[in-house]
Structure 1
Amino acid sequence: MPIEIKMPALSPTMEEGTLAKWLVKVGDKVSSGDIMAEIETDKATMEFEAVDEGTIVAITVPEGSEGVKVGAVIATLASDDEDAATSAPKAAAPAPKAEAAPALASAPAVAASPAPMAAAAKAADGDRVVASPLAKRIASQLGVDLGKVAGSGPNGRIVKADVEGAKGGAATPAPAVAAPAAAAAPAPDFGIPYEAEKLNNVRKTIARRLTEAKQTIPHIYLTVDVRLDALLKLRGELNKALEPQGVKLSVNDLMIKALAKALEIVPKCNVSFAGDELRKFTRSDISVAVAAPSGLITPIIVDAGAKSVSQISKEMSALAAKAREGKLQPHEYQGGTASLSNLGMFGIKQFDAVINPPQAMILAVGAGEQRPYVVDGALSVATVMSATGSFDHRAIDGADGAALMQAFKQLVELPLGLLA
């Protein structure tokens, strides 16, 4: 019996995607674990692996197709013991590309809630978990119990993306945003010439999530001025010591460490508001805003408070490179307990960042600059940076947010504490 290959859910929030590129063609033989296609999700471009062995007898969704719904049949596979000619669908017309909505003509309809992922796959003859060999290998490496993983492959089979998503700990889709009361009127162009650029999936997700954050999260903003001279001196000394290892610390690496340590000092800020409960995290996972060609994405330094600054630097360099290439895996950007956004390299003095739900705080870091500064009662010149914390006031009281900002300031101004 021919096997239908369906559009997978490569992230918990994915409802549709773009089939960016086929890496196989009709007539090709594939084995479990082979990479068949590149799919653009709402977060990144990801590889889609085969879970069965056989011959491709039909490709029903051509590459470049946008708006392909999760669960839609995209190709057909004949197993090795079948006749490929008789297995091919008799009327396999390519799925047309989704038509673009007229630019700014109306507010988009609210997407239906994503279909629940299939329960963990069980074979009919017992309790054996059905998973691809690659998924099994990754699960073994990451310590993931396949019996608790929901499969998105054919017949509920567990694939690589399911394992990585389970490891990332973000299996619950974000709540849907309420439908707008009325359709937005088209924005007038006033006769000014312009070019309309269609939004990619990442930009659509950014727009939806930031709108949700500003509409549903009561933000409170707290700003401190931080003297950087001691931290810059320590950074220079550490970079000399780490030069033989090929490690060069950035100021941002040290900021990641300082925020993680501050969250350990003030655990009341390392939380998340979850309806009728407050989740108190026992680990500081810092999401770091990175500008990628497709839009902003936030790779995560897991357990940053427990890692050395050199380890943070190495991980951040690798994650930023993958983010710019659109190759981040779900467990590398899903989750996080707090975020850091640094625009200091652009000369931005101070800004207020939007909270990244379901997190409850984000730290916005500006540029270090020479300013008049009072030291020990005397006016002098110091290198000073403004840092602003945005806090979810449902989860974090102003006094606790102020305590976090105070702890962050102290760690940066007395930076040896970052090495403890």
Structure 2
Amino acid sequence: MPSNILMPALSPTMEKGNLAKWLKKEGDEIKSGDVIAEIETDKATMEVEAVDEGVLARIVVPEGTQDVPVNELIGIIASEGEDPNAVSGGAGASTAAAAKQPSPAQQAAPAKPAAAAAAGAAPPAPGRPVAAPPSPPGAQAPSSPAARPTGNGASGARLFASPLARRLAREAGLDLARLTGSGPHGRIVERDIKAAVAGGGAKAAAPAPSA
């Protein structure tokens, strides 16, 4: 399968160049790494090296041509055993030549902004949520340890106690507002109720008889 020789780019901003000279002619044997042409811009001259092997089957753009667009087909290399005369322009899918950069400094220069752009465009790594300690169903977690309310037990809805502790307190007639919780963030838990029952304290006041 024939390979295309395309107009190379000297820099990322290069759009056109001049095909100064062909260093090979049609029918010449080409080896990988051979310099086959010279390309000129207003700033530099660079050599075009072959990356495939074969025969220079056709020169599409003659030397001396000005303002050849980058990636324009300029020549075709026929594969080994292939008839060079049977090769038509643009038949190959691969690129048979690469530009040889004139100097390491020019070659390294475009890499710096590219690396910076890649670093700036990289999205932050998605953070995995940190699992919070499990809490009993229905329990209300305080916003901070200082947020634990105090009261006289008239309404237990704002007291931080586990559902089991609330049930045991109701059965034992205990006033949760008078208890000090030993659970996380001062939450009243089962052992606090059992301790209060064993100590005989924190009994809730008996409701007044209705009229």
Tell me which of the two structures has the higher relative contact order, counting C-alpha pairs closer than 8 angstroms and 6 or more residues apart.
2
Q: Which has the higher helix share?
A: 1
Q: Max radius of gyration: which structure?
A: 2
**Normalization by structure 1: what TM-score?**
0.24
